[in-house]
Amino acid sequence: MKPLLKENNSVGEVVNFVSRDQLTDSNVQHWHDENPINFSAEERSKTTLLFGGLTEMHDQLLEAGMVALGYKAKALPVADFEALQCGKEYGNRGQCNPTYFTVGNLVNYLCDLRDNKNLSVAEIIESYLFVTAATCGPCRFGMYVTEYRKALRDAGFEGFRILSFQGGHAGKGGNKNDGLETDIKFFSTTIKCVVIADVLNAIGYRIRPYEVENGATDRALAASKELLQVAIGKRKSLIKALYQCRKLLAAVKTDFSLVKPKVLVIGEFWAMTTEGDGNYRLQRFLEQEGAECEVQPITNWLLYMLWEEKSRLKETMLLRKVESTENSHKDKKSVLASFQVNMATLGLKGFFYGVASLLGLKKYKLSDMDEIARISHPYYLNEVRGGEGHMEVGKLIQAVEQKKAHLVISVKPFGCMPSSGVSDGVQSLITARYPKANFIAIETTGDGAVNVYSRVQMALFRARKQAQKESDLLLSE
């Protein structure tokens, strides 16, 4: 029989071959990834849930939300360059930035507990665990958790628990003895915290470039965050806390007569969301260069996932009508599920706009997922999943057609397969069809800040000229 694979051998040893029969032999010991996920309800009172990876505002409010649900929780600090170095030291080669930054940040935190807080490794493994989202898809995101465990093992924390959940499991509950109950209450609290953080961040990016006193916006946001942490964590009046935050933010003196180019930041989810070295602190760099940023709220991502589910249900019902009429009872279930998705979409939008009204965020519009799907479809199939899907294409077209921004930046980790295929491939066709588009795609590796800043500055030069031209035209009328 023709040999298929060689076994691993050191130099000088006899090379043995593995046949197809041997591959299917039950005695062959395949590699197995140990996944310690034991976390019971009895352990909640003595186990701290660690998490992080979004903006500081999101992570801090989510910490309060987890406390309100009865968990001990701790948000990790925003990942920095030291986290990247640590992640690369213990992680596999060829991973993308989110993996390195996230696991490096976690390892550094655990090392601090061990080296500076004098906790033993056994105490850390027993008293802490990491919670993260997971999914499948056409990139390495589905393998992140395995990579985290590998890095933790090599860093000396073998057996450290990592719990992952998927949004599609919302409401299914699970074993009531499980320490982490990913039920409706869990996801509704999470969404509430995410939406409030989205609105606060949007207000911050809107007023910070025009503040009269440097740092006033950040101080108002920090005070607002503390108020909301107390209200959420201790289950106090959220409406009252939001009104108090509105007063703090309204007190920031601004001068909106300043002419500044508006920059729309899109791209891969983690790279465009993080505020740390993972994207070279892009948002703050743009503001330092005299621009106003518009970042993507996580609420848009939630709306996109709901749109995907609605689209899937619609396709399923169409296929059943073509195949036969015997599945009418299943069609009724699909119709009900589609109705539920529509109600969830309306509820999410309603809550966002309600919070925006209470906090004083005016004339802010969430993305219309049907419109984005329609305008992007000629260039990118809506059925293609992964990353931002067709959203990045649609957002660029909207920015040009509706004059929503003077510059559009797509930021992604180096080697991100779904995002690179869009920003480096499809978007070149969009910019050819829309010559007025001021668009750049940048990749982040952790050590290329100078190159990225240089490219952004060149694009900002064109954006400033366009902003000034529009201002002069408006004043001349």
pLDDT digits (tens, 9 = 90+) for 192-243: 999 999 999 999 999 999 999 999 999 999 999 999 999 999 999 999 999 9
Residues 6+ apart with CB under 8 A from 393: 376, 379, 380, 422, 426, 427, 430
| Per-residue pLDDT reduced to its tens digit, 246-275 | 999 999 999 999 999 999 999 999 999 999
| Mean of pLDDT values over 63-74 | 95
Dihedral sign for Cα atoms in the order 300, 384, 333, 174: negative
- How many other CB atoms sit within 10 Å of the CB of residue 183? 16
- In this structure, are residues 119 and 102 in contact, taking their beta carbons and an 8 Å threshold? no
Asked if pLDDT for residue 133 goes beyond 80, the answer is no
230, 259, 288: which is the final residue of a domain? 259
Question: Is residue 137 a part of any domain in this protein?
Answer: yes
Dihedral sign for Cα atoms in the order 21, 24, 27, 30: positive
Q: What angle do CA 323, 328, 331 make, to 5 degrees?
A: 90
| Mean of pLDDT values over 42-50 | 92
Asked if pLDDT for residue 2 goes beyond 80, the answer is no
pLDDT of residue 13: 44
Q: What angle do CA 218, 220, 223 make, to 5 degrees?
A: 110
Domain that holds residue 153: 37-259
pTM for the model: 0.87
Asked if pLDDT for residue 176 goes beyond 50, the answer is no
pLDDT of residue 334: 81
pLDDT of residue 7: 43
203, 236, 259: which is the final residue of a domain? 259
pLDDT of residue 302: 95
- Rounded distance between C-alpha atoms, residue 391 and residue 251, angstroms: 36
Confidence class of residue 278 from pLDDT cuts 50, 70 and 90? very high
176's tokens: 């009531």
Question: Is residue 285 a part of any domain in this protein?
Answer: no
319's tokens: 């296929």
- In this structure, are residues 58 and 221 in contact, taking their beta carbons and an 8 Å threshold? no
State percent of the chain over pLDDT 70. 85
156's tokens: 């000396």
pLDDT of residue 352: 98
CA 128, distance to chain mean position in Å, is 23
Question: Is residue 332 a part of any domain in this protein?
Answer: no
pLDDT of residue 175: 43
| Per-residue pLDDT reduced to its tens digit, 134-159 | 666 556 666 778 888 889 999 999 98
- How many other CB atoms sit within 10 Å of the CB of residue 126? 16
322's tokens: 């073509």
Question: Is residue 340 a part of any domain in this protein?
Answer: no
Dihedral sign for Cα atoms in the order 314, 316, 317, 319: positive
140's tokens: 């390495």
Note whether 255 and 383 are same-domain residues: no
- How many other CB atoms sit within 10 Å of the CB of residue 3? 12
243, 259, 275: which is the final residue of a domain? 259
- How many other CB atoms sit within 10 Å of the CB of residue 312? 16
pLDDT of residue 419: 80
Asked if pLDDT for residue 438 goes beyond 50, the answer is yes
| Per-residue pLDDT reduced to its tens digit, 404-415 | 999 999 999 887
Q: How many residues does the chain have?
A: 477
- List Cα–Cα distances, 438 to 39, 209, 430, 461, 470, in angstroms: 50, 21, 11, 11, 15
Note whether 398 and 254 are same-domain residues: no
What is the SS3 string spanning the chain?
Answer: CCCCEECCCCCCCCCCEECHHHHCCCCCCCCCCCCCCCCEHHHHHHCEEEECCCCHHHHHHHHHHHHHCCCEEEECCCCCHHHHHHHHHHCCCCCCHHHHHHHHHHHHHHHHHHHCCCCCHHHHHHHEEEEEECCCCCCHHHHHHHHHHHHHHHCCCCCCEEEEECHHHCCCECCCCECCCECHHHHHHHHHHHHHHHHHHHHHHHHHHHECCCCHHHHHHHHHHHHHHHHHHCCCCHHHHHHHHHHHHHCCCECCCCCCCEEEEEECHHHHHCCCHHHCCHHHHHHHCCCEEECCCHHHHHHHHHHHHHHHHHHHHHHHHHHCCCCHHHHHHHHHHHHHHHHHHHHHHHHHHHHHHHHCCCCCCCCCHHHHHHHHCCCCCCCCCCCCCCHHHHHHHHHHHCCCCCEEEEEEECCCHHHHHHHHHHHHHHHHHCCCCCEEEEEECCCCHHHHHHHHHHHHHHHHHHHHHHHHHHHHC
**Per the structure, how many domains does the chain have?**
2
- Rounded distance between C-alpha atoms, residue 108 and residue 308, angstroms: 37
CA 424, distance to chain mean position in Å, is 21
| Per-residue pLDDT reduced to its tens digit, 24-39 | 556 667 666 666 678 8
- Rounded distance between C-alpha atoms, residue 208 and residue 51, angstroms: 28
> How confident is the prediction for the chain on average, in pLDDT?
87
Q: Which residue has the higher pLDDT, 321 or 387?
A: 387
| Per-residue pLDDT reduced to its tens digit, 78-131 | 999 999 999 999 988 878 888 899 999 999 999 999 999 999 999 999 999 999
